[in-house]
Amino acid sequence: MNEDILREILHKHKKWRNGKEGGERADLSEADLRWANLRWANLSEANLSGANLSGANLRWADLSGANLSGADLSGANLRWADLRWANLPPPGILLLVSWGAISDELCKRCMQYDALNVETKYRKAFSNWGKGGDCPMAGNKYQRSINFQEKRELWDDKLLKKAPWTAVRLAEALMKEKCKTTNK
């Protein structure tokens, strides 16, 4: 989407949010917003359904009450974004957001999820990687299940034997740690 058009939509949306004349709720449904810089943008209650937000910078954006159903958020930066009351895409899509560095416990759970969501023959590669070997996803026909900064030193083969968290639980934990999702 053209930056000038996007700027005008955001300006009208701000007016709408403030109850001013000439305001209009942002309708960015199906919009191509790949790599858009929406840092600090107020998109509260905006319609972003089906939008392509891959790689977009949404850091500190107000997405409260926004409709993000069907949006592509792969590689997007949602850190510290306000997601209260937002209509979110499926958890599998949320796991592909660029989460960056995360807490150690959550990192272990995410590495476990990645390891358990590859073909069984590739799981041994995670053990080798933990000992300084090559990336466990090298040669794998699938990409990682979660986009985060892994910590090799936290890998433990016991993770392959523990019951994994579901995609929903992981997505909620990532959002709780990296976004604003409650009124607290």
pLDDT band, very low/low/confident/very high, at 184 (cuts 50, 70, 90): low
Both tokens assigned to 132: 């300084």
Tell me the pLDDT tens digit for each residue of 44-69. Answer: 999 999 999 999 999 999 999 999 99
Helix 104-116 and helix 123-130: axis angle, to 10°? 140
Q: What tokens appear for 151 in the block?
A: 């910590």
Alpha-carbon gap, residue 4 to 27, rounded angstroms = 15
Q: Tokens 């209650």, residue?
A: 45
pLDDT at position 142: 75
Share of the chain above pLDDT 90, in %: 85
Q: pLDDT, tens digit, for every residue of 71-123?
A: 999 999 999 999 999 999 999 999 999 999 999 999 999 999 999 988 887 78
Q: Is the whole model's pTM more than 0.85, yes or no?
A: yes
Measure CA 8 to chain center. 26
